[in-house]
Amino acid sequence: MSDELKGLIVPVLTPFDDSGAIDEDAFVRHLGFLEQHDVKRIMVNGTTAEFHSLLPEERKRLLVLARKHFPGLIVLHAGGLGLEQNRIEVQWANELGADAVVVLPPIYPAGLPEEGLVEYFKALEAGAEVPFILYNFPKHAGNAITPEVLKAVPHFAIKDSAQNFELMEHTPRYFVGSSTNIYEPIQQGAAGFVAATANVRPELYAAMEMLVVAAKVEEAAVMQQEIKAYSAPFSAGGVAALKQALARKLDGYPTQVRIPLKG
Contact by Cβ (8 Å): 173, 157: yes
CB 202 within 8 Å of CB 38: yes
CA distances to 7, 154, 239 from 196, rounded to whole Å, are 14, 27, 9
- 48 is an annotated ligand-binding site residue: yes
- Is residue 205 flagged as an active site residue? no
Annotated catalytic residue 159 = yes
120, 135, 183, 253: the active-site residue: 135
- What does residue 80 show for φ and ψ, rounded to 5 degrees? 90, -15
- Distance, in Å, from the CA atom of 179 to the CA atom of 101, rounded to the nearest integer, reads 21
Q: Cα separation of 202 and 217, whole Å?
A: 20
Catalytic residue among 6, 40, 159, 243: 159
> Shortest CA distance to 161 belongs to which of 104, 230, 109?
104
Determine if residue 28 is labeled as part of a ligand binding site: no
The C-alpha atoms of residue 143 and residue 22 are separated, in whole angstroms, by 30
SS3 101: strand
Catalytic residues: 135, 159
Q: What residue numbers does the annotated binding site for pyruvate cover? A: 48, 194
